[in-house]
Amino acid sequence: MPLFEYYCSDCKARFELLVSHKHADDVVCMKCHSEKVRRLLSVFASPRGAGEDYSFDGAADAEGGCGCGGGSCGCH
Ligand SMILES: [Zn+2]
């Protein structure tokens, strides 16, 4: 499920929520339960292959996946 970030215009809260696309627009504020929330750009909004984001994600995966920095742990 994608992680979405929401902003509540009633209490000015920002929160993140894992929600399926089907319910992405049915979210209420986690603090005040207002329906006046709007969805911000998702952390994972950019699909892989979208230019700069791709190379950044790739580097993060390679270095953050196992902590070995590449090659010595057998996970590559
Ligand atoms: Zn709120």
Question: Tell me, what CATH number does 52's domain have?
Answer: 2.20.28
| pLDDT band at residue 2 using 50, 70 and 90 as cut-offs | confident
pLDDT at 50 over 60: no
The structural domain count of the chain equals 1
**What integer pLDDT is reported at residue 27 of this predicted model?**
92
20 found inside a domain: yes
Q: Which domain covers residue 9, as residue numbers?
A: 3-64
The burial of 43, by beta-carbon neighbours within 10 Å (0-12 exposed, 13-18 middle, 19 or more buried), is given as exposed
Please give the residue that has the higher pLDDT: either 20 or 52.
Answer: 20
Q: How far is the CA of 61 from the centre of ligand 1 (A)?
A: 34
Q: How far is the CA of 10 from the centre of ligand 1 (A)?
A: 5
74 found inside a domain: no
Instruction: Using alpha carbons, select from 70, 67, 32 the residue that is nearest to residue 14.
Output: 32
75 found inside a domain: no
37 found inside a domain: yes
pLDDT at 42 over 80: no
46 found inside a domain: yes
Residues with a beta carbon under 5 angstroms from ion ligand 1: 8, 10-11, 13, 29, 31-32, 34
45 found inside a domain: yes
Q: How far is the CA of 30 from the centre of ligand 1 (A)?
A: 7
Where do runs of H (alpha helix) occur along 1-76?
Answer: 52-64
